[in-house]
Amino acid sequence: MRRPDVTFEETAARRSVESVPLAHLSVELGHLYIEEFAGGVEQLRRHFARVAPWAAAARQACVDRMPTARPRISTCFLIDDYFTRFSTPRVVMEQVREAAQGTGLVIDYFAREAGCAQADDIPLAELVLTQLVSDPDPGTAGDRPPTSETGWLSNGRRSPVSRPGQAMSASQEWQPPMQNAANRHSIFMDVELWDYEEDGRRRWSCPFLAAVWQLMRMGLLRHEGEGVTNPYQLDDWPDNWDEMPAVVKLNPHAAPFSAYRTFSVLGSRFLPIEHAVRTILSQVSISPAVLDQIQTRSRNEHIDLPKDLVERSEYVFVSD
């Protein structure tokens, strides 16, 4: 198992942060669950055949945005080994490689959903949780418990809850929830980040792990100044998922795993999940040193990179 060499850059008056390699675009070719493998290689082949035209369109759009430079574009896909363990890494990879043949797709990186919770003994989900800054509700008195305690994050004001024990007082009139910064009408969302905690370990929700996945793909996470998304190259595939790195490099000639922008081709059932992901990302506070570093690098490459994290991700949702 080999990791690539890494470089470090100093930021004045700040703790040094690792400068991770960045592609221009990371294209996600699927977020695969046990259902995608139920029909064997033929079902996977149909999946990649649906994805291929959209991946090609994303690649061309990236080329068109950079007419004077050769874009660095990498591909990846994510396997669910967090909520459901099935098969083995070796068997899954053989099926995926066989299914992708003849579709025109080159798969550069393979990632595990469990690796979005913890990778290389780094609790990535906990790390992102500490970086959440909840969107405050205008006019509230701060009586809502913090997200770090409740495990719920919203994009606005929840409906008030009537409290018992006030028999002589007038009943509180119902009020609708309200989205912060709504565009004419509210689209209120309340996102569950985990559903239970046992022995100090939380079971993270799919939207929260998917938000961590997006941050990994954008190269925005650091632990004690070091990057957390350096992929491994494997000499041999283990039979146990717990022995797998979070991200594995399949194509030795691939562009970097992380990128300035991400593009994901997903089944339509992921639409509400990615809505929740964007709600989470809108309330993540990334280290200023990391943001400044990536913005400086993008300017040096003459790339117009949005400051808003959610604007760095694009999607296509396809019917199954």
Q: Which two tokens stand for residue 163?
A: 């409290």
Task: Say what the pLDDT of residue 9 is.
Answer: 45
Three-state SS for 69?
coil
CA distance 89 to 80: 11
Tell me the β-bridge partners of 228.
Answer: none
**DSSP category for residue 169:** S
Cα 279 to chain centroid distance, Å, stands at 12
Where do we find the tokens 């290389």?
120
Domain residue spans of the chain: 7-11+21-123+222-269+288-318
How far apart CA 237 and CA 239 sit, in angstroms, is: 7
In angstroms, the CA 305 to CA 199 distance is 42
Q: Would you list the DSSP string of 182-209?
A: -BSB----EEESEEEEETTEEEE-HHHH
Q: CA geometry: angle at 135 spanning 134 and 137, to 5°?
A: 120
Question: What per-residue confidence (pLDDT) applies to 177?
Answer: 85
- Exposed, middle or buried: residue 286 (CB in 10 Å: 0-12, 13-18, 19+)? middle
* Per-residue model confidence as pLDDT tens for the chain (320 residues): 655 544 444 433 346 889 999 999 999 999 988 888 888 899 999 999 999 999 999 999 999 988 778 999 999 999 999 998 888 999 998 999 899 998 999 999 999 999 999 999 999 999 999 999 876 666 555 556 788 888 999 888 887 765 555 555 556 688 888 888 788 888 888 999 999 888 888 999 999 999 999 999 999 999 999 999 889 999 899 989 999 999 999 999 999 999 999 999 999 999 999 999 999 999 999 999 999 999 999 999 999 999 999 999 999 999 86
Residue whose tokens read 């790390």: 127
**Residue tagged 């100044």 (tokens):** 225
Confidence at residue 143, expressed as pLDDT on a 0 to 100 scale: 58
Q: Give all strands (DSSP E) within 20-138, no chain letters.
A: 23-32, 73-79, 109-112
Q: List CB contacts of 117: < 8 A, sequence separation 6 or more.
A: 82, 123, 124, 125, 204, 209, 212
